Amino acid sequence: MTKLTLYLDDKLVKTTKKFAKRSGTSLSKLTANYYKAITKGYKKPDEEIPQVVREMIGILKDDGKSYKQIREEYYEHIANKHK
């Protein structure tokens, strides 16, 4: 484990310690759970996504079809096209 030093308002620390005690946990565990919650599912910031990809986000309509359905429809389309 790594030690982390935080500088927080005294009133916030007192209130949070009381909350942790009432919740039956430690302030460290409460803080760790908070960090886990806010970073769950973290994705790269938009700056790391190439511009060309960012421009394409949201242009396709979500019709609820699975990848398998889309692929099958595409293959059927190509087969019919080249008959």
Upper half-sphere CA count for residue 77 (Cβ side, 13 Å) = 6
Give 23's contacts (C-beta < 8 A, 6+ positions apart). 30
Measured distance CA(40)–CA(64) in Å, rounded? 25
pLDDT of residue 45: 65
Q: Running DSSP on this structure, what letter comes out for residue 75?
A: H
Parse the chain into domains and list their residue ranges: 10-81
pLDDT at 47 over 90: no
Residues 44-59 have a mean pLDDT of 72
Q: What's the pLDDT tens digit per position in 24-46? A: 999 999 999 998 888 887 776 65
pLDDT of residue 11: 94
Selection from 4, 28, 3 nearest residue 16 by Cα: 28
Residues 10-36 have a mean pLDDT of 92
Average pLDDT taken over every residue of the chain: 85
